[in-house]
């Protein structure tokens, strides 16, 4: 029991379970999953389905944050990738031509990876602070996306393209498989090769890492590139889901949600240790919260207040200091004050 | 040793100033009506509130933290002011101190959570951002216009400057805040403690500095600045609205960082922030003088100008460093 | 002396960290007007005791009395206000602030709340010069100075606080003889003024030179408290280590095999860098140990960094096995079989969040690249091997390295580089903060590695150590290499003379 | 008629009078005749947040080119403060007329006074401002969001006039706090509140986007089983919602009646497939009307204070007929 409680994922899991239980109490049907037209249909599936693009972005973001960076441009990359894919398809004679769709996807992904590389270049080679370097693309990127779409929403009619974001494979949405695949890829890359160690060490202490011979430039470049790639994939899923590309709104505020997910998952914004599974849990928490808000009919004007309170609760409950205060005030043995404890908190 | 020897730490500031002058000169050559004092003064008038929040944010970033709640606190301040004045009929003399106190205590609350419960500033202030913005809509979804004579006077009074130009009262407030903040950062114990915390929080603690108190104060100060910026913003807009100052936190952070403050904390100058704000303003001005850009080109050009500026700044700075060495 | 009331009494102090009982039932007394040495192996709990005393960590159990009253400081600030001034083991100052600020922050001279910068710089300059005979530009950021200077600044800060108790946790670990003398004379003066001084060091000579009383800890337990004059050296060592030990000094001095060293592992020809080191020549033979001696700031560290590519040399060339090579980055140096263990373990050495295992294998893995990952099993084997070889405590490869005691962190760094089996190993203050037993072990290890053909460049501020193990000594002065002394010529006097310049 | 659009040059330089240092009220009211000097129009657009807005921008740009008016266009990226800055810089550039679509209704007095003092007439497009001082602008050209909501409401009431029992309505709101969302909601509620059988069982914000419309509708469909009507504040949300309804195995337009506002082309396509039952148009093509107005203002002719743009509503049949004519 003690071991479980000490596990870094214990509290995120608890929060997620609490949210789900709340839903179950509110609506006993919440967990019901039906099979409809050969696919599973239900709230839980929706959470996975709508969570998958965010999960993709957050996975990429985790690596960037682990290197002590941040990527604010993901939302814009989502929009650009969506725009490129839809624009390419819309220019085709036969929008449903598999070759065309594949070309469109490859183009979009290549562009996204390139944009990620550009961010990495600014950060590592030019030495611009990550937040500013990626802010540039965040601003410019929306413009580029709109330039591609001429400010319009490009609608495509391409069942083949639609499969990616709205299709079903073995009862589950295709996008869920894509997210799972990328997650597995990231986990494999970071845990089976030495990349994870390098990323963590660069994020923890860049100087020491350089002196230990770790190619910190390459490592960080890779992180940004991967993040761009993930955002691009998310853009394809999002646009394919609604069969259209909206340069202005696609992926709007994604950067905040993605960073939030990463932080809830236990990765520190100061770089170093990162937790991909934690990030995934963070995404599920955020998406479950969103779904909860929609399905319980919280009035839109208080949505944000609810979100704020939940976010606060999530991070307070993860704080050992708060739990101690809470326990103390519940038991109310004797009010004693907080102790200064240096940087001794261990993450198991 | 010479009296005019440039210190390495000052190189970015000097580079930014030089660039700002350069851009202004370029703008003057390119656009009619650009080369006038009033254009510069408008820069101040239009960015007074940004300057005020950015000053508060500078302290936060110097300490190695971040405050995402500033834009929402501004919105909440405008909303609260408007609701209290127009709907509840309270006098401005009560409302303004009240909103300032509220902003300050909200900041202090976030600071306390950040410090005592050791939660990352990003997430705490993000929650603060959602909360403040959400509270706006709880007060009212609609915009509330302010017709109170005091606010109208504050909004429309033009303080004449020799040469037929003018500034607004908000500019005076903003410049006063700037001056006070420079003093605070460089000539008080509090300010130095902020730098120390940014340099290394654990060391600061071991050096016997009041880390906890200072951190709470830093966020309280940022909250105060946001609320004050909210008041100035209310003068500027004469309305309370839940969507005011949307996304301002990023503009603010950008201004601070462009001004040479390191996001990792401990390095930077309040005056740099002033330059950062002016730079963002001048980019906006250039865009509106250009007058032929479509919406997307506007974004692209803003981004490209930003990039150019930062590249030049780095180039100049590294030159300076080489010469210094 | 005995009859006086102790100024400070810590009784029955317990402190546990996850997995480690750092202190169990420690009693400690400190009398006014004495210098009290706290001794123990690496990881014995010395620093922890100090941190408990100064409110950095809360004690799990126990009581602290100062002048008879129970105190319970919750932070170093409170401890300071109670009159306890501390220099912690690692340099805990702010690298971004100026030297003057680091000394005086929190107590700046002010007028109407406004800091008087001029007065502050003046005061800092005066303090450093008068007390520690150090003349540096106090307006420059602290981070631009070497570790030794930073250590002196930290000491100056502590000295400037009017205190009843002064705590110095390994203040001398990277200071040279002269600086140490300076510090000791200040300490003796403070002792006369009635201050109680707690002093931690691993240098036995220093203990016997200044201390009046010794408390020994082992594995977090109190072993004994003695008056210094009643405790012979060997007895002290065996109390610390827990077993009898023959005199440590008697290391087998290598009989020179000068002939072998004709084959050079690395030759630097006219290598230098503007503003840091004047061009110098240095060749290191296969299996040779070259020591580097010099005063504080003489440029030893900076010369070593050039050889490793940590800073890029802007003049001269390198020759390895007869061929010209470029060394522009640590990466290239490592690929060519050079390793460099930095003196600054906190900022340039350990990767603090990562585990001991990961820290140990970092350099080896880096040289193997991304895809040839060491298997987890292999990593554990390697880590275990070196934990045993260097006696790293606690012997758990999975704890974050930041939770290790200072000396043990140093051993982890050594392990990291030994693991790469370099052709040339550059060691900058490798024994910094390492206890007597371990120091001897490490010296033996270095000698045996050299016998197997590894070249070593050995930098230490402890001259004795350099003299003991070097085959050849390069002396630096004012950022220039001024002489080279080899073989039979090596003697304390000659080296001292070269260092002093004559 | 259409004329070559290459008249717009990159930079100004032509039209403005000799630069004077002061921005003090000058007596140089736009007295130049429209003869040789081109009229300079400063237009501050809200942003490019939707296809509707882009069509609006395009219409204005094309109409200006066609009318031979020198357009200074500035995009506010959805921020009121940017619009205020833009208007200040128009004053600085001494344009002949300023026109803008206010981001919000309130907070314009200060800057419009400056314009008034500088003698530059102001035209509002698309949205009104709520200033009591109507002398700050010469005319307001645009649609009436409340009326759009009412039209949607009237259609719903009409459809269910013979229906007894509750009519369950789901509302997809626009961005919380935005003027169209508030007004379209208010107008709709005003009409349906007349009869208590109309019940809004869920009302959630879909941020005016397809993706959100889909996501929100998906959740609502799980929580509510019998929905009769979907009222979406814009077409994009309706299009997203249609997808959700289809995924739930229902038939949009039949099982759930759908009303939406705007009238973009994709909505007409959906309507022609019977998936949207009623479209309330909100016309973005104000350009030609605006240019006429500008010319009149400059010429000193009297103009009406309020000009409502011509807007229609479309049932499925009308939508099918209209579809070929839709440009945006
Ligand atoms: N923050 C911490 N978290 C966990 N364990 C710790 C922490 N700090 C110290 N320890 C452990 O407590 C024990 C005592 O460490 P301490 O730093 O007091 O040793 P020390 O006697 O000062 O050694 P050294 O001579 O190497 O400085 C060690 O085993 C160390 O690993
Ligand atoms: N007067 C001074 N005395 C000592 N160090 C100085 C002095 N002035 C500057 N320094 C700084 O100290 C550093 C000296 O270089 P370096 O670290 O190579 O010396 P070192 O011989 O290794 O001595 P140390 O024992 O201090 O490490 C330089 O970075 C320099 O900036
Ligand atoms: Mg220690
Ligand atoms: Mg050195």
pLDDT band per the 50, 70, 90 thresholds, residue D10: very low
Q: How many CB atoms lie within 10 A of CB D86?
A: 29
Laid out side by side, the sheet with C61-66 consists of C20-30, C8-17, C61-66, C69-71
| CA-wise closest residue to B82 among B27, B162, B140 | B140
Burial environment of residue B217 by CB neighbours within 10 A (0 to 12, 13 to 18, 19 or more): buried
**Confidence (pLDDT) at B285:** 85
Counting CB pairs under 8 A, whether chains C and D reach 3 or more, is no
**Confidence (pLDDT) at B322:** 43
**Confidence (pLDDT) at A133:** 92
> Which residues in chain C (325-384) have CB-CB distances under 8 A to chain B?
none
From the CA of C404, the nearest ligand is 1
pLDDT tens-digit readout, C336-354: 999 999 988 888 999 989 9
Which ranges constitute the DSSP H helices of D49-108? 51-67, 80-93
Give the integer Cα–Cα distance in Å for B244 and B242: 6
Instruction: Look at residue A59 and give its three-state secondary structure.
Output: helix
Assess whether pLDDT exceeds 90 at residue B125. yes
In chain B, what percentage of residues exceed pLDDT 90?
A: 55
pLDDT tens-digit readout, B13-25: 888 888 888 888 8
B103 vs C294, which has greater pLDDT?
Answer: B103
**Confidence (pLDDT) at C244:** 63
Architecture per CATH, domain C8-245, reads as: 3-Layer(aba) Sandwich (3.40)
Task: Report the atom number in ligand 2 closest to the C-alpha of C136.
Answer: 1
β-bridge partners, C166: C85, C197
Query: Do residues C202 and C217 make contact, with C-beta atoms less than 8 angstroms apart?
Result: no
| Cβ density class D126-144: b for 16+ within 10 Å, e for less | bbbbbbeeeebbbbbbbbb
| Smallest Cα distance from B149 to chain C, Å | 39
**Confidence (pLDDT) at A42:** 86
Task: Report the atom number in ligand 1 closest to the C-alpha of C404.
Answer: 31
Whether ipTM > 0.85 holds is yes
The domains of chain B, with CATH numbers, are 8-316 (1.10.3470)
pLDDT tens-digit readout, D46-64: 888 777 888 888 899 999 9
Whether residue B202 lies within 8 A of chain A, CB to CB, comes out as yes
Q: Which two tokens stand for residue A236?
A: 């394809």
C20-30/C455-459 β-pairing = unpaired
| Residue nearest (by alpha carbon) to ligand 2 atom 5 | C297
For ligand 1, whether the C-beta of C40 sits within 6 Å is yes
Residue linked to tokens 């809830």 = A264
Burial environment of residue D298 by CB neighbours within 10 A (0 to 12, 13 to 18, 19 or more): buried
Whether residue B302 lies within 8 A of chain A, CB to CB, comes out as yes
Give the integer Cα–Cα distance in Å for D111 and B46: 11
C480-486/C472-477 β-pairing = antiparallel
Instruction: Tell me the backbone φ, ψ of residue A34, rounded to 5 degrees.
Output: -110, 165
Which of C137, C149, C275 for a ligand 2 pocket mutation test, highest count of atoms within 8 Å of Cβ?
C149
Counting CB pairs under 8 A, whether chains C and A reach 3 or more, is yes
Query: Do residues B234 and B77 make contact, with C-beta atoms less than 8 angstroms apart?
Result: yes
Whether residue D16 lies within 8 A of chain A, CB to CB, comes out as no
| CA-wise closest residue to C302 among C171, C148, C141 | C148
pLDDT band per the 50, 70, 90 thresholds, residue D31: very low
B165-168/B158-161 β-pairing = antiparallel
Q: How many CB atoms lie within 10 A of CB D319?
A: 24
Least confident span in A168-172, B10-14, B206-210, D71-75 = B10-14
Q: What mean pLDDT comes out for the span B45-65? A: 95
| CA-wise closest residue to A142 among A224, A256, A283, A245 | A245
Whether residue B254 lies within 8 A of chain A, CB to CB, comes out as yes
| CA-wise closest residue to C286 among C259, C265, C308 | C265
In the predicted model, residues of chain C with pLDDT beneath 50 are 1, 247-248, 257
**Confidence (pLDDT) at B129:** 94
Assess whether pLDDT exceeds 70 at residue D29. no
Please determine, looking at this structure, whether the domain spanning C262-337+423-502 carries the CATH number 1.20.1440.230: no
Q: What mean pLDDT comes out for the span B289-302? A: 82
Q: What mean pLDDT comes out for the span A137-160? A: 90
Helix, strand, coil in percent for chain C, rounding step 5: 40, 25, 35
D100 vs B321, which has greater pLDDT?
Answer: D100
CATH 3.40.50.300 in chain C, residue ranges: 8-245, 262-337+423-502
pTM score, two decimals?
0.90
Give the integer Cα–Cα distance in Å for B229 and A189: 47
**Confidence (pLDDT) at B319:** 61
Instruction: Look at residue B266 and give its three-state secondary structure.
Output: coil
Per-residue H/E/C for C413-426: HHHHHHCCCCCEEE
For ligand 2, whether the C-beta of C52 sits within 6 Å is no
> What rounded mean pLDDT belongs to chain B?
89
Assess whether pLDDT exceeds 70 at residue D5. no
In chain D, what percentage of residues exceed pLDDT 90?
A: 44
**Confidence (pLDDT) at A6:** 73
**Confidence (pLDDT) at A343:** 38
C78 vs D127, which has greater pLDDT?
Answer: C78
Give the integer Cα–Cα distance in Å for D40 and D30: 10
**Confidence (pLDDT) at D193:** 92
Query: Do residues C459 and C427 make contact, with C-beta atoms less than 8 angstroms apart?
Result: yes
**Confidence (pLDDT) at B292:** 74
pLDDT band per the 50, 70, 90 thresholds, residue B4: very low
| CA-wise closest residue to D152 among D276, D18, D35, D32 | D276
| CA-wise closest residue to C173 among C468, C496, C465 | C465
Q: Write the residue in A151, A155, A303 that is nearest to D266 by C-beta.
A: A155
**What CA–CA distances, in Å, run from A71 to A62, A67, B54, B161, C64?**
10, 11, 21, 44, 49
pLDDT tens-digit readout, A47-96: 999 999 999 999 999 999 999 999 999 999 999 999 999 999 999 888 88
Assess whether pLDDT exceeds 70 at residue B60. yes
Judge: A131–B138 Cβ closer than 8 Å, yes or no: no
pLDDT tens-digit readout, A229-252: 999 999 999 999 999 998 888 888
B294 vs C194, which has greater pLDDT?
Answer: C194
Judge: B299–A140 Cβ closer than 8 Å, yes or no: yes
In chain B, what percentage of residues exceed pLDDT 70?
A: 95
CATH of domain A2-297: 1.10.3470
Whether residue A103 lies within 8 A of chain D, CB to CB, comes out as no
| Residue nearest (by alpha carbon) to ligand 2 atom 23 | C297
| CA-wise closest residue to A212 among B213, C340, D314, C184 | C340
Whether residue D110 lies within 8 A of chain B, CB to CB, comes out as yes
pLDDT tens-digit readout, D197-233: 999 999 999 989 999 999 999 999 988 888 999 999 9
Cis peptide preceding A89, ω within 30 of 0? no
**Confidence (pLDDT) at D16:** 36
- Name every residue whose Cβ is closer than 8 Å to that of residue D161 and which is 6 or more positions away in sequence: none
Instruction: Look at residue D204 and give its three-state secondary structure.
Output: strand
Counting CB pairs under 8 A, whether chains B and A reach 3 or more, is yes
Give the integer Cα–Cα distance in Å for C376 and C379: 5
Judge: C330–A205 Cβ closer than 8 Å, yes or no: no
Instruction: Look at residue A187 and give its three-state secondary structure.
Output: helix
């Amino acid at each position: 029991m003690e071991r479980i409680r000490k596990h870094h994922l214990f509290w995120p899991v608890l929060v997620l379970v609490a949210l789900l239980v709340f839903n179950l109490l509110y609506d006993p049907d919440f967990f019901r999953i039906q099979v409809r037209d050969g696919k599973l249909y239900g709230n839980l599936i929706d959470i996975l389905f709508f969570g998958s693009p965010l999960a993709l972005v957050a996975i990429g973001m985790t690596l960037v944050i682990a290197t002590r960076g941040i990527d604010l441009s993901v939302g814009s990359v989502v929009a650009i990738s969506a725009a490129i894919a839809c624009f390419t398809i819309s220019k085709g004679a036969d929008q449903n031509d598999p070759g065309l769709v594949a070309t469109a996807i490859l183009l979009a992904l290549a562009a996204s990876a390139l944009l990620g590389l550009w961010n990495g270049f600014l950060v590592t080679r030019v030495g611009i602070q990550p937040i500013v370097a990626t802010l540039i693309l965040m601003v410019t990127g929306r413009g580029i996306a709109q330039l591609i779409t001429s400010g319009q929403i490009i609608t495509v009619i391409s069942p083949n393209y639609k499969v990616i974001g709205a299709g079903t494979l073995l009862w589950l949405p295709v996008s869920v498989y894509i997210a799972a695949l990328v997650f597995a890829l990231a986990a494999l890359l970071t845990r089976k090769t030495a990349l994870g160690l390098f990323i963590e060490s660069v994020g923890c202490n860049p100087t020491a890492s350089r002196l230990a011979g770790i190619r910190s430039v390459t490592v960080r470049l890779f992180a940004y590139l991967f993040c761009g790639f993930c955002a691009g994939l998310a853009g394809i899923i999002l646009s394919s889901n609604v069969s259209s590309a909206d340069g202005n709104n696609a992926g709007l505020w994604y950067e905040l949600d993605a960073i939030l997910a990463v932080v809830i998952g236990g990765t520190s914004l100061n770089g170093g240790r990162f937790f991909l599974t934690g990030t995934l849990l963070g995404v599920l928490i955020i998406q479950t919260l969103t779904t909860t808000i929609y399905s319980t009919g919280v009035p839109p004007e208080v949505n944000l207040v609810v979100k704020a309170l939940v976010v606060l609760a999530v991070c307070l409950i993860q704080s050992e200091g708060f739990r101690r205060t809470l326990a103390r005030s519940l038991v109310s043995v004797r009010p004693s004050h907080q102790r200064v404890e240096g940087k001794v908190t261990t993450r198991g | 040793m010479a009296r005019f020897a440039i210190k390495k730490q000052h190189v970015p500031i000097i580079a930014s100033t030089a660039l700002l002058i350069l851009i202004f000169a370029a703008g003057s050559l390119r656009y009619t009506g650009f080369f006038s004092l009033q254009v510069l003064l408008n820069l101040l008038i239009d960015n007074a509130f940004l300057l005020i929040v950015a000053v508060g944010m500078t302290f936060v970033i110097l300490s190695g933290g971040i405050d995402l709640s500033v834009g929402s606190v501004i919105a909440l301040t405008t909303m609260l002011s408007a609701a209290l004045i127009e709907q509840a009929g309270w006098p401005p003399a009560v409302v303004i101190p009240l909103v300032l106190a509220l902003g300050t205590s909200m900041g202090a609350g976030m600071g306390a959570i950040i410090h005592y419960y050791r939660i990352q500033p990003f997430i705490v202030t993000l929650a603060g951002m959602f909360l403040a913005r959400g509270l706006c809509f709880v007060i009212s979804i609609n915009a509330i216009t302010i017709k109170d004579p005091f606010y109208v006077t504050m909004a429309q009074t033009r303080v004449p400057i020799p040469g037929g130009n003018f500034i607004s009262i908000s500019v005076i407030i903003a410049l006063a805040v700037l001056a006070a903040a420079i003093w605070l950062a460089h000539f008080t114990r509090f300010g130095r403690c902020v730098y120390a915390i940014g340099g290394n929080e654990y060391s600061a603690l071991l050096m016997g500095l009041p880390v906890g108190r200072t951190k709470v104060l830093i966020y309280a100060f940022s909250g105060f600045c946001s609320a004050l910026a909210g008041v100035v913003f209310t003068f500027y807009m004469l309305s309370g609205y839940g969507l005011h100052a949307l996304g301002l936190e990023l503009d603010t952070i950008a201004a601070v960082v462009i001004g040479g403050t390191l996001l990792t904390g401990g390095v930077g100058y309040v005056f740099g922030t002033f330059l950062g704000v002016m730079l963002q303003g001048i980019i906006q001005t250039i865009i509106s003088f250009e007058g032929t850009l479509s919406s997307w080109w506007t974004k692209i050009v803003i981004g490209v100008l930003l990039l150019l500026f930062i590249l030049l700044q780095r180039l100049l700075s590294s030159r300076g460093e080489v010469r210094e060495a | 002396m005995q009859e006086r009331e102790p100024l400070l009494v810590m009784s029955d102090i317990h402190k546990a960290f996850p997995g480690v009982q750092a202190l169990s039932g420690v009693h400690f007394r400190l009398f006014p007007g004495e210098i009290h040495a706290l001794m123990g192996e690496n990881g014995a709990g010395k620093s922890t005791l100090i941190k408990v005393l100064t409110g950095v960590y809360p004690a799990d159990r126990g009581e602290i009395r100062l002048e008879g009253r129970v105190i319970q400081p919750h932070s170093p600030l409170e401890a300071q206000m109670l009159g306890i001034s501390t220099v912690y083991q690692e340099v805990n100052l702010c690298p971004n602030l100026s030297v003057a600020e680091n000394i005086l922050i929190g107590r700046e001279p002010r007028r109407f709340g406004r800091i008087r910068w001029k007065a502050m710089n003046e005061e800092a300059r005066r303090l450093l010069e008068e007390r520690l005979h150090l003349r540096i530009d106090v307006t420059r950021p602290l981070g631009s100075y070497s570790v030794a200077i930073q250590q002196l600044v930290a000491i100056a800060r502590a000295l400037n606080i009017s205190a009843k108790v002064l705590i110095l946790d390994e203040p001398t670990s990277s200071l040279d003889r002269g600086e140490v003398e300076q510090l000791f004379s200040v300490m003796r003066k403070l002792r006369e003024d009635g201050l109680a001084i707690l002093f931690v060091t691993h240098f036995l000579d220093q203990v016997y030179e200044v201390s009046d009383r010794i408390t020994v800890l082992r594995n977090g337990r109190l072993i004994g408290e003695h008056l210094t004059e009643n405790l012979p050296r060997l007895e002290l060592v065996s109390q610390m280590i827990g077993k009898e030990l023959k005199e440590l000094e008697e290391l087998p001095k290598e009989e020179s095999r000068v002939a072998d060293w004709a084959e050079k592992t690395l030759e630097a020809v006219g290598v230098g860098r503007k503003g840091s080191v004047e061009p110098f020549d240095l060749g290191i033979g296969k299996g040779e140990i070259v020591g580097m001696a010099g005063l504080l700031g003489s440029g030893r560290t900076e010369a070593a960094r050039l050889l490793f590519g940590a800073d890029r040399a802007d003049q001269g060339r390198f020759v390895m096995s007869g061929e010209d090579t470029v060394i522009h980055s640590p990466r290239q140096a490592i690929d060519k079989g050079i390793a460099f263990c930095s003196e600054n373990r906190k900022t340039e050495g350990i990767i603090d969040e990562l585990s001991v295992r990961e820290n140990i294998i970092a350099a080896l893995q880096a040289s193997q690249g991304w895809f040839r990952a060491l298997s987890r099993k292999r990593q554990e084997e390697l880590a275990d091997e070196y934990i045993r070889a260097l006696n790293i405590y606690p012997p758990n490869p999975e704890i974050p390295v930041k939770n290790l005691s200072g000396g043990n962190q140093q051993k982890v760094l050594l392990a990291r580089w030994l693991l790469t089996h370099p052709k040339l190993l550059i060691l900058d203050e490798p024994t910094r903060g390492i206890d007597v037993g371990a120091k001897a072990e490490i010296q033996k290890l270095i000698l045996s590695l050299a016998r197997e053909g590894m070249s070593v460049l050995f930098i230490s501020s402890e001259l004795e150590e350099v003299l003991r193990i070097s085959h050849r000594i390069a002396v630096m002065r004012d950022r220039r290499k001024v002489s080279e002394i080899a073989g039979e010529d090596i003697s304390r006097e000659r080296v001292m003379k070269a260092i002093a310049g004559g | 008629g259409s004329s070559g659009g290459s008249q717009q040059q990159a930079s100004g330089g032509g039209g403005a009078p000799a630069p004077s240092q002061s921005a003090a009220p000058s007596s140089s009211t736009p007295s130049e005749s429209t003869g040789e000097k081109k009229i300079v129009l400063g237009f501050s657009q809200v942003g490019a947040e939707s296809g509707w807005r882009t069509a609006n921008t395009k219409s204005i740009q094309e109409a200006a080119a066609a009318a031979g008016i020198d357009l200074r266009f500035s995009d506010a990226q959805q921020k009121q403060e940017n619009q205020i800055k833009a208007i200040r810089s128009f004053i600085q550039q001494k344009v002949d007329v300023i026109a803008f679509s206010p981001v919000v209704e309130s907070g314009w007095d200060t800057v419009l006074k400056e314009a008034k003092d500088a003698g530059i007439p102001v035209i509002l497009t698309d949205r009104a401002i709520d200033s009591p001082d109507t002398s700050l602008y010469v005319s307001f050209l645009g649609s009436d969001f409340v009326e759009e909501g009412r039209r949607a409401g009237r259609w719903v009431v009409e459809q269910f006039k013979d229906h007894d029992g509750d009519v369950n309505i789901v509302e997809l709101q626009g961005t919380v706090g935005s003027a169209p969302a508030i007004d379209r909601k208010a107008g709709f509620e005003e009409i349906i509140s007349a009869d208590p059988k109309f019940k809004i069982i869920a009302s959630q914000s879909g941020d005016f986007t397809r993706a959100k419309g889909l996501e929100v509708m998906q959740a609502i469909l799980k929580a509510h089983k019998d929905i009769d009507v979907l009222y979406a504040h814009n077409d994009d949300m309706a299009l997203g919602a249609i997808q959700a309804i289809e995924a739930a195995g229902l038939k949009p337009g039949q099982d759930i009646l759908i009303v939406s506002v705007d009238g973009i082309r994709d909505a007409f396509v959906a309507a022609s497939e019977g998936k949207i039952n009623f479209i309330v148009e909100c016309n973005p093509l104000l350009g030609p009307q605006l240019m006429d107005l500008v010319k009149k203002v400059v010429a000193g002719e009297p103009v009406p204070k309020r000009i409502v743009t011509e807007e229609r509503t479309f049932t499925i049949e009308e939508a099918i007929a209209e579809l070929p004519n839709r440009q945006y």
